[in-house]
Amino acid sequence: MNRPLPTPIGHSACPHDCPSTCALEVDLIDGGIGRVRGSKDLDYTAGVICAKVARYAERIHNPNRLLHPLRRKGEKGNPDWRDASAWERIGWDEALDIVAQAFLDAEAKDGAEAVWPYHYAGTMGLVQRDGIHRLRHAKRYSRQFDTICTNPAWAGYAAGTGRLAGPDPREMARSDLVVIWGTNAVATQINVMTHAIKARKERGARIAVIDVYRNETMKQADIALCLRPGTDAALACAVMHVCFRDGHADRDYLARYTDCPEELEAHLATRTPEWAAEITGLGVDEIEAFALAVGTTKRTYFRLGYGFTRSRNGAVSMHAASSIAAVTGAWQHEGGGAFHTNGAIFNLDKSLIEGHDRLDPSVRRLDQSRIGAILCGEPEVLFGGPPVTAMLIQNTNPMSVAPEQDKVRAGFARDDLFVCVHEQVMTETAAMADIVLPATMFLEHDDIYRGGGHQHILLGPKLVEPPGECRTNHAVFAGLADRLGVDHPGFGMSEREHIDWMLQKSGRGTLADLETAKWIDCQPDFRTSHFLDGFGHADGKFHFRPDWPRVDAPNNGPMGPWQGLPELPDHCTVIEEADGAHPFRLATSPARSFLNSSFNETPSSRAKEGGRPEVMIHPEDAAGHGIADGGLVRLGNRRGAVTLHARLFDGVRRGVLVSEGVWPNAAFADGKGINTLTGADPVAPFGGAAFHDNRVWIEAVAPA
């Protein structure tokens, strides 16, 4: 009897912008893929991945994938790439010739800075994501300052620790209290829940969740704190007040490891639970109980996410939350401390990938989040330089995900702007392009990844052939470089050669070594990761008093109202508070089945998110505004207005609205997406977009 042959399994790493960066096992079936699973051998992934990546076969075999280069024939914005009146199929050579000539024309007219290669984190692979900088630097095109995601969080964490690193995230499983703050981990980094639940099962640990609505993570909490958006620092200050008041502050630790504990204690004397209750909306008893749990549990692990930093006071909130672990001395203990990201531990040499030898610091660096203002030609964001008249866009969909969408749309509609978009499906941004190039997905090319939420470097080798004429980002860089007359060795190397060069230059072995091992564990030793030999500042102390404009975090100089940031942890009142004309505060939180605008094109993900964009509103607020469950509503502010359906939900606070996910703009009744309402004004101290910090009005839409 002939037994069926076992299904071949390939090993890879998830490329998406999630701190979990899961190690994957992929069933390889007839030249394509089948089931995708988390690797049980990598102890952070621990065999668990999110459902949307488990369904990746639906995405990679999507019948709507772009397969051939296209040239626009009709008006900008037509998303139907099969419409022969709107798009025509062309060859790769012709497409790249057109793009290169457009870049040369823009440079001849206005200088090299008129060309802006624009990218972000649609793939987190270091070769495919970051090689665009090599072309940028070699041609002296406008640089990009990445602000759309990480800046407030990184600045706030580094303000205290001096370094973007922390306790081994696997230690959550050895904690007695895991505090999940500002991240809906069930939806956005499932492995946090893996280790927190393991601690609960094996140690009897408690899980505390702090967020602005009762999401799936909060439903699993032993301690659930649902506060008003932008008030996290007030809660943190009250917790520290109680720890000092009730003798739970570790004074020996404070004296040895922190900069000004006496000043902090005096400052917090008035930051009582009663004070914080007025600001946060929490009950005094809730704050007292949480503070007691933190103060009496030495092995408290603060897992601090990005969500609560996407407010205009986000850096201050992150700093205040991480300060609690210094007050209690939790950093000293296994399963204790505060963790945000491990970005500083990998020390990978990306100089060849990014072309650092051609970097000219005098070339302007345009703010990614302010793409709308930049494309609309606002002088202050162009730094006195020329208008942007040509773009190459990879790994991002700014027509959907960037703030101030009305400005973004107006900028892309300019007749004098040439745009090439390299994409996997016809996104809103691709629909505005002059040339669209079909892109590979992660299993169709070689790359290397590092886990911000853990400590591993992972290999993601090519496992299957791409469909149609899809090409890698790296191939596009090289093809354009050749036509633009760029002479740099990085363009003549393969992806595998780049990976091998980087590993060897970084002291991480060779590509052959990584192919055998599949990943490298880079976690520093216990003393280093818990800062027991000193924090990352020159004085070795945790800083309760940050020097905000000099915090060691990525920056383009101080931005936003940084002069008004508090000297010590405190509630900072720079958020968009509700007012008479805008009585609600809106958070645009992540959806479980989408990742920004990725996956919002797949039928299963859209179905699991309810099939349409919605906004959650408390039933009592809905009744006061004549809003029915499932009814159409209109939200608006000075930036614009959107129309979507209401969902009555008592898991949001009165006066708070939550709309999950970056749905396609076309899914909204008026064709305008949720980021029409979000602001691009820079967050202090170093910029960023405050996606969860919006005051809005709401009204019911009368049936037609």
Question: Count of alpha carbons within 13 Å of 665, Cβ hemisphere only?
Answer: 25
In whole angstroms, give the CA distance from residue 445 to residue 463: 7
SS3 365: strand
Beta-strand relationship, 87-89 and 435-438: unpaired
Q: Quote the percentage of the chain above a pLDDT of 70.
A: 99
Could you please report the per-residue DSSP string of 330-351?
Answer: GGGSTT-EEES--GGG-----H
Long-range contacts of 479-487 (CB under 8 A, 24+ apart): 479/92, 479/96, 480/96, 480/99, 480/100, 480/103, 480/135, 480/392, 481/134, 481/135, 481/138, 483/96, 483/97, 483/100, 484/100, 484/103, 484/104, 484/135, 484/139, 486/135, 486/138, 486/139
Cα angle, residue 72 at apex, residues 68 and 75 outer, rounded to 5°: 145
- Residue 538 phi, psi dihedral angles, 5° rounding: -60, -30
**For position 3, what pLDDT does the model report?**
67
Instruction: Report strand pairing: 87-89 vs 70-72.
Output: antiparallel
pLDDT band per the 50, 70, 90 thresholds, residue 7: confident
What is the rounded CA–CA span in Å between residue 156 and residue 533? 21
Strand partners, 696: 584
User: Distance of alpha carbon 382 from its chain centroid, rounded?
Assistant: 25
DSSP one-letter code for 486: -
Strands ordered across the beta sheet of 456-460: 447-450, 456-460, 519-521
Measured in whole angstroms, the distance separating CA 428 from the mean position of its chain's CA atoms is 20
Q: What is the pTM of this model?
A: 0.97
The CA-atom distances, in angstroms, between 448 and each of 138, 285, 395, 462, 667 are 23, 48, 16, 11, 34
User: What's the average model confidence in pLDDT over 158-173?
Assistant: 98
User: pLDDT-derived band of residue 24, with 50, 70 and 90 as boundaries?
Assistant: very high
Rounded CA gap, 636 and 582, in Å?
8
Q: Which domains does the chain have, with CATH numbers?
A: 9-61 (2.20.25.90), 70-146+348-443+464-485 (3.40.50.740), 167-339+527-557 (3.40.228.10), 584-700 (2.40.40.20)
285-336 tens-digit pLDDT: 999 999 999 999 999 999 999 999 999 999 999 999 999 999 999 999 999 9
Per-residue pLDDT at 704 exceeds 70: no
Contact present, 258 and 542 (Cβ < 8 Å): yes
139-157 tens-digit pLDDT: 999 999 999 999 999 999 9
DSSP string, 20-53: T--EEEEEEETTEEEEEEE-SSSTTTTT---HHH
HSE-up (13 A, CA, CB side) for residue 508: 28
Q: Say if residue 258's pLDDT is above 90.
A: yes
4 pLDDT above the threshold of 90: no
Give the whole-angstrom CA distance, residue 178 versus residue 202. 13
The answer to whether 303 touches 185, Cβ cutoff 8 Å, is yes
Q: What is the mean pLDDT of the chain?
A: 97
In this predicted model, what pLDDT tens digit does every residue of 189-218 receive, in sequence order? 999 999 999 999 999 999 999 999 999 999
In contact, 448 and 454? CB cutoff 8 Å:
no
